[in-house]
Chains A and B, each alone.
Chain A
Amino acid sequence: MKTAIKTMLLIACLPFTAFLIFMFIELSNISLVGHKIHTLAATSIQQACVLFSQETYKREDTRLDITQILSIDGTNIGISDDFYGSGNSREQIYQNLYGLSSPFASFTDLDGYWKNYDLLKTQYTSNAVENSISSFYKDALMTPLNVGVPYLDLETVNKIARYNLANLLNGGVIENGRFMNIAYDKSRGEYYVQYKGVDIFLGEDSFKITNISYEVVDLNTEEGKKKFTEYTNMNPDVILKNVTSSSDERTKIAFVGLEYKITMRYSGITPLATLLNNISGSGEAGTELYKVESFDSTSSSNEIAVKSGYADTSAVVYGGGFSGMSDTPRLNRVIYYIIR
């Protein structure tokens, strides 16, 4: 009798022990993956800025011809390397980015600091001499980036950043051109990438750079030097040693702060998360999500999503910019700059 009670107690304790172990694994995973996702999002944006500043559209072929992103079911997820508009010539792209009807034409945040940059913008004034220099710059397809000013086109950088993030989070798991970690969420109507128990949504409004702000730091002032070190982790003397006059344009450094938002949902890596999701999702009409659980590549049907009764537990988090995330140990700022 005593042995039977002990056995029953042991059996009763097993699910509780499993619950504790799964809980420990899930909590460890959340704490590690949360930071990792922010780091990857920041890296995607940072590298998007670098790629944008490399002006790849000035190559013979304006597209990069890299891997197109297809989801696990082979459908095009709408994120491609066509960052500058398919079929556009480099002149057309230049006009789109810096022409009269571009956002650059009305952009004034960085005016008045650098002579060459101002001349680039004089095409919008009535001064004949300035217009002729500006016209020369225009013919040569010169951009603010060419004169050392990090002006970024929000739409293009957003496209590159989304492409980068989808690639990074998929982790190179590609079979027959299909990105095996990217699937479609029917209820939300957008694609998401599964990354270590977290679903990160890739829709245009789910992951995007929400704001680009500019700040010009003057290295002639102590405050400017302090800001420079804070943003770059570099000693300002690196620049000042080559400068002879305080009016030298190189003492003005432009920084770009990029704020982003990212939408994610925790799906878990143990059966516990699935169990909790199922419990919280049951009986709540209209909140069920559809989640890809398997994919049969031989099936002719496109209907690959399996209803599994999940509640929408997605959350939108924000980060980046000059201030980053003050409530976390790592600020995760996203700051881009060019030093001449």
Chain B
Amino acid sequence: MLSFFASTPKWILRFIWFITFGIFFIYFAFNVCGFAFSYVKLIGLADAVQQTVIENNYIPEAEAKALLSYMKSLETPVLRNIRFSTTTEEQALYTSKTARKQYGSVITVGIEADFYFSNPLSVKEITGGVEGFNGTASTGDMSASEIERALDERIVSNEGTGGIRCPIKLEFKVIGLKYYADLDMG
């Protein structure tokens, strides 16, 4: 067997190419599937947001909290930072002063998220806890808790690495179908 490898460098080169392209192909397939699954999940979420706005003409506080919690539960290593779209926050979220609208109003709502395409050539720094700095141990200049916080911040700041960021924005125009007696008809 060894003699075969030694005697056929062309085959070895082919094998190396095969492995390389194999890795890229697996990553490609993973990205396609990951994106498709993530997109379907986001469509479901966008539907839930639309439904809330259709029924209330805006996103009330209780519903917003439930939706945010749902968004958090949908996040995966490749699908991160799911949030209401900027337009939704400005026009339809309960925190906006102009959120409540009358029956028949056209409202633009949606969600945004970041999908990260995995890339076999990308470098991701792996950070974790530091052994030996538990309790009240001190390094002199920084306390253990300060070091841990600093490490956490590094972890957070590194979340964006390890993939090619692809922002996804799903926005739709919907009609508010709730009548508010205290609001003038538009």
Contacts and interface: CB of A to CB of B under 8 A. Distances in A.
B179 A54 contact: yes
Interface string A45-77: 011001100101001000011110000000000
Interface stretch (B13-21, B58-66, B161-169, B170-178): B170-178
B54 A168 contact: yes
A44 to B, nearest CB: 7
Nearest to A174: B106
B64 to A, nearest CB: 19
Contacts of B186: 66
A330 to B, nearest CB: 12
B104 A171 contact: no
Interface in B88-124: 102-104, 106-108
Given A50-B178, A65-B185, A173-B173, A167 B51 contact: no
B185 A168 contact: no
Contacts of B173: 171-173
B176 to A, nearest CB: 9
A54 B54 CA distance: 17
B54 A64 contact: no
B174 A172 contact: yes
B59 to A, nearest CB: 16
A157 to B, nearest CB: 13
A64 B103 contact: yes
A67 B54 contact: no
State the majority secondary structure of interface residues on B: mixed
B179 A56 contact: yes
Contacts of A50: 177-179
Contacts of B104: 64, 66-67, 81, 167
Given A39-B51, A66-B103, A32 B179 contact: no
Contacts of B185: 64-66
Nearest to A47: B177
B54 A43 contact: yes
Contact of A171 (B51, B102, B172): B172
A251 interface: no
A47 B54 contact: yes
A243 to B, nearest CB: 26
Given A66-B186, A174-B106, A168 B177 contact: yes
A188 interface: no
B75 interface: no
Q: Which of A43, A171, A172 has the most CB of B within 10 A?
A: A172
Contacts of B177: 43-44, 47, 50-51, 164, 167-168
A185 to B, nearest CB: 23
Interface string A159-174: 0000010011001111
Interface of B: 43, 47, 51, 54-55, 102-104, 106-108, 172-175, 177-179, 181, 185-186
* Shortest beta-carbon contacts, A-B, top 7: A172-B173, A66-B104, A172-B106, A47-B177, A167-B175, A65-B185, A171-B173
25 contacts: A32-B43, A39-B47, A43-B51, A43-B54, A44-B177, A47-B54, A51-B177, A51-B178, A54-B181, A64-B103, A64-B179, A66-B103, A66-B104, A66-B185, A67-B104, A164-B175, A167-B104, A167-B175, A167-B177, A168-B177, A171-B174, A172-B108, A172-B173, A172-B175, A173-B173
Given A51-B178, A167-B177, A172-B106, 6 more contacts: A47-B177, A51-B177, A51-B179, A64-B104, A164-B175, A168-B177
